[in-house]
Amino acid sequence: MANIITRKSVMTLFSSPTCAMSHCARFVLHEKAVAADIEYYDPANPPEDLLELNPNGTSPTLIERDLVLYDSRIIMEYLDERFPHPPLHQMDPVSRANARMQIKIIDQGWYLLLDEILFSGEKKSARAKKMLRESILSNAPVFAARPYFMSDEFSLIDCAIAPLLWRLPSLGIDVSTQNEVINNYAQRIFKRPAFKRSLSEAEQEMAEPLK
């Protein structure tokens, strides 16, 4: 692994190969076509290089020179501002604020339920699966209204949603609708070259239930 002195001249993203939040950051990195090193690691056993920069060893962690960022959403925002083309936020302040609020709602709803599915007991996990499925299905009209989530243009909101949707089949969660608006939306995002490049080997295997 590169030492810290060498790393200061290179952008590096430390990432769990299975964490959905880390996947979001990787998706943005590839949408921006940023030349960066992605170093996969086990969050239960963080490498010493990472612990020297982020004592918590949390995933994802972005390193660029003397900058160290720990939070997935902060990393996504930073990458969008640091590399403005193509923009993943609309330019006007109201639209940007609404997008940030929507991502926060997704985090406090869908991602909290995902954590409960992955890290709680069987009973709580089953309940969380049911709640997550129902919550996503209740948003079918939103998925149907525009090509992307609440927008005519691909945005950070889509980068936040896609990694979660990618994991649903492997969790046994079916969000099919009569007109397939959610699955059609998901496939539209999954076909993006940047999304394909963002997948770790472990995440590629999550697609097995789709076959």
Q: What is the pLDDT of residues 128-143, one digit of tens each?
A: 999 999 999 999 999 9
> Is a pLDDT exceeding 50 seen at residue 210?
no
DSSP 2-34: --HHHHTTS-EEEE-SS-HHHHHHHHHHHHTT-
At 185-204, the pLDDT tens digits run: 999 999 999 999 999 999 99
At 16-60, the pLDDT tens digits run: 999 999 999 999 999 999 999 999 999 999 999 899 999 999 999
Specify the residue for token string 């921006």.
32
Task: Quote the pLDDT of residue 91.
Answer: 79
Specify the residue for token string 């959610």.
182
At 83-111, the pLDDT tens digits run: 998 899 877 899 899 999 999 999 999 99
What's the maximum distance between 2 C-alpha atoms anywhere in the chain? 55
At 54-88, the pLDDT tens digits run: 999 999 999 998 899 999 999 999 999 999 988 99
Residues catalogued as catalytic: 19
Confidence of residue 5 (pLDDT cuts 50, 70, 90): very low
Burial class (CB in 10 A: 0-12, 13-18, 19+), 95: middle
Confidence of residue 178 (pLDDT cuts 50, 70, 90): confident
Q: Is the four-CA dihedral 81, 86, 88, 90 of positive or negative sign?
A: positive
Q: Which domains does the chain have, with CATH numbers?
A: 4-82 (3.40.30.10), 93-192 (1.20.1050.10)
115's CB contacts (< 8 A; 6+ apart) are none
Q: Rounded mean pLDDT of 9-15? A: 87
Structure pTM? 0.91
At 117-172, the pLDDT tens digits run: 999 888 899 999 999 999 999 999 999 999 999 999 999 999 999 999 999 999 99
Distance, CA of 91 to CA of 184 (rounded, Å) = 27
